[in-house]
């Protein structure tokens, strides 16, 4: 096996013979073995090498294993620590376990069990590294305002938004329920030159039809029974900003005509008033219907459709952008962990397999709800398969998911690194900065990818 693909294990013990025996046993696994005779030498190795797990004695001259453990907690909290201890220091080891140590063994250890525990520690470190990388992506390249994605379909969406964000043309956002149409409308507004002005959203499907005209255009006091005071409508409220009409396909034909007139003439009239009010708005509408088909069936006005459809942005369903799922999972875990004051960091590989296999008919909203439920119920740092609803697991089983479904995580990382280096014409320092990682971390990933030397 190539040494670059092995985990790096640091053995810390002041007895040379103990280090020699344990090193020989673990090299059979195999691992890259580093040795240190105390806490000082160990801290130097950790600062210069990409160590995955530390196995340390507790009782050593000078700075002992507990000192090293506290140093690692402060400076390298993602490195699991396994203690080797004599009977006299068991209490210290147990105390360390409550403070985050991975495991402890009494000397001499059961080497078969030690290998099994070490393998688990290595896997945990690997998962944490992947989560760190995903968070780095979220904070830099793959986050556009509140929209997350790096799949080809989403990159196309981002390019379109960048091209039209400062224009005043109307935009029609289409896509299935739960694909994030309102989030995209927010992104268009808050990256445009109108971002200082209001963003006003109206869910056309949620407001009773008899109230929609008053909701859109407002009314004067006494205009109808119950109108005890003047009310400003959404068109007027959004003046100089953006008006977002969500699910515009639900509007009745009579109201469609009034909205078309307001868009064309750039003025509205409150109900019960005889004075027209000039407005300056950017209109964004969304629909989960095929509006062209609705026009053919006479359910939607053709003139309003053409006015709205100056620029159409189609949001892909989640099943068509599965390479975004790891990023989205990381984002939602962070969001709900903070809200619930929990320390949930990731999902297990089998859960990720299920997520990549599921068709997500509810799209982003369904995934967000699943993660929210899992975080609320989670008792551990990693969400396991028990935290996932049965209906999602059943579909995954029916699809005969395999463990290698999760491979795109590594492939995504390699592709991202290669693209960054190409973008900067081979300048690895600039590529590392753009990726949000250190130059050393970039070289470590290149060695693992076996792409550049």
Q: What CATH number should be reported for the domain holding residue 73?
A: 3.40.50.2300
Q: What is the pLDDT of residue 411?
A: 66
- 159 and 250 in a single domain? The answer is yes
Q: Please tell me the predicted confidence (pLDDT) of residue 313.
A: 95
User: With a cut of 50, which residues of the chain have pLDDT below it?
Assistant: 1, 139-143, 400-407, 451-453
Please give the C-alpha separations between residue 409 and each of 201, 315, 322, 352, 413, in angstroms, as whole numbers: 36, 23, 11, 10, 6
Are 186 and 295 contained in the same domain?
A: yes
Structural contact between residues 223 and 272, judged by C-beta atoms closer than 8 angstroms:
yes
Same domain, 165 and 40: no
pLDDT tens per residue, range 135-182? 665 544 444 556 788 888 998 998 999 899 888 899 999 999 999 999
Give whole-number Cα distances, 257 to 99, 160, 190, 219, 301, in Å.
Answer: 67, 29, 29, 18, 8
Assigned domain for 380 exists: yes
User: Is the same domain home to 327 and 389?
Assistant: yes
The answer to whether residue 203 is domain-embedded is yes
- Tell whether 142 is covered by a domain: no
**393 and 420 housed in the same domain:** no
| Same-domain pairing of 161 and 297 | yes
174 and 299 share one domain:
yes
Q: Is residue 144 situated within a structural domain?
A: no
232 with 115, same domain? no
Residues 169 and 77 in one domain: no
Per the CB < 8 A criterion, the answer to whether 39 and 71 are in contact is yes
Q: Please say whether the beta carbons of 9 and 33 come within 8 A.
A: yes
Q: Domain for residue 138, yes or no?
A: no
The predicted-structure confidence for 326-345, as pLDDT tens digits, reads as follows 989 988 998 899 899 998 88
- Give the contacts of 279 (CB within 8 A, at least 6 positions apart): 235, 236, 238, 239, 262, 266, 267, 268
Query: What does each C-alpha distance from 84 to 30, 38, 66, 178, 188 come to in angstroms?
Result: 20, 13, 11, 51, 57
Question: What does the pLDDT read at residue 4?
Answer: 59
**Strand-strand pairing, 277-278 and 267-268:** antiparallel
The C-alpha atoms of residue 405 and residue 354 are separated, in whole angstroms, by: 9
Residues 284 and 354 both lie in one domain:
no
Q: What are phi and psi of 303, to 5 degrees?
A: -65, -35
Tell me: do 15 and 105 sit in the same domain.
Answer: yes
* Same structural domain, 170 and 51: no
| pLDDT the model gives residue 397 | 63
**145 in any annotated domain:** no
Domain range for 438? 408-449
Domain count, the chain: 4
What phi, psi does 37 have (nearest 5°)?
Answer: -95, 5
CATH of the domain at 156: 3.40.50.300
pTM recorded for the entire structure = 0.58
CA-to-CA distance for 243 and 143, rounded, in angstroms? 24
């Amino acid at each position: 096996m190539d040494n670059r693909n092995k985990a790096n294990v640091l053995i810390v013990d002041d007895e040379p013979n103990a280090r020699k025996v344990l090193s020989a046993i673990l090299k059979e696994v195999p691992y890259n073995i580093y040795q240190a005779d105390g806490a000082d030498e160990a801290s130097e190795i950790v600062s210069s090498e990409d160590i995955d797990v530390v196995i340390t004695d507790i009782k050593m001259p000078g700075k002992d294993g507990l000192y090293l453990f506290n140093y690692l907690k402060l400076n390298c909290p993602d490195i699991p620590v396994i203690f080797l201890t004599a009977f006299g220091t068991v209490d210290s080891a147990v105390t360390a376990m409550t403070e985050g140590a991975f495991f402890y063994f009494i000397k001499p250890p059961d080497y078969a069990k030690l290998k099994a525990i070490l393998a688990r520690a290595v896997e945990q470190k690997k998962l944490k590294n992947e989560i760190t990388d995903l968070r780095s992506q979220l904070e830099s390249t793959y986050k556009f305002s509140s929209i997350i994605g790096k799949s080809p379909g989403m990159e196309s969406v981002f390019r379109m938004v960048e091209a039209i964000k400062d224009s005043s043309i109307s935009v029609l956002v289409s896509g299935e329920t739960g694909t994030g149409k309102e989030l995209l409308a927010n992104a268009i507004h808050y990256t445009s030159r109108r971002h200082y002005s209001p963003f006003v959203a109206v869910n056309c499907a949620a407001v009773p039809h008899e109230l929609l005209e008053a909701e859109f255009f407002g009314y004067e006091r006494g205009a109808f029974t119950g109108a005890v005071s003047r009310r400003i409508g959404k068109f007027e409220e959004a003046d100089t900003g953006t008006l977002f009409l969500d699910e515009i396909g639900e509007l009745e034909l009579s109201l469609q005509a009034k909205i078309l007139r307001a868009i064309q003439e750039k003025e509205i009239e409150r109900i019960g008033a005889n004075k027209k009010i000039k407005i300056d708005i950017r209109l964004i509408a969304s629909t989960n219907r095929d509006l062209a088909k609705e026009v053919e069936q006479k359910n939607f006005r053709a003139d309003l459709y053409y006015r709205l459809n100056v620029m159409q942005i189609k949001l892909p369903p989640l099943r068509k952008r599965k390479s975004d799922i790891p990023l989205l999972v990381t984002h939602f875990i962070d969001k709900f962990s903070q809200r619930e004051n929990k320390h949930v960091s990731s999902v297990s590989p089998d859960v990720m397999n299920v997520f990549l296999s599921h068709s997500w008919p509810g799209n982003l909203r369904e995934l967000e709800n699943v993660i929210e439920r899992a975080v609320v119920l989670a008792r551990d740092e990693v969400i396991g398969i028990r935290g996932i609803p049965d209906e999602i697991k059943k579909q995954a089983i029916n699809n005969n998911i395999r463990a290698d479904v999760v491979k795109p995580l590594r492939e995504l990382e390699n592709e991202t690194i290669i693209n960054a280096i190409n973008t900067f014409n081979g300048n690895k320092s600039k590529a590392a900065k753009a990726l949000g990682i250190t130059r050393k971390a970039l070289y470590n990933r290149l060695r693992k990818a076996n792409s550049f030397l």
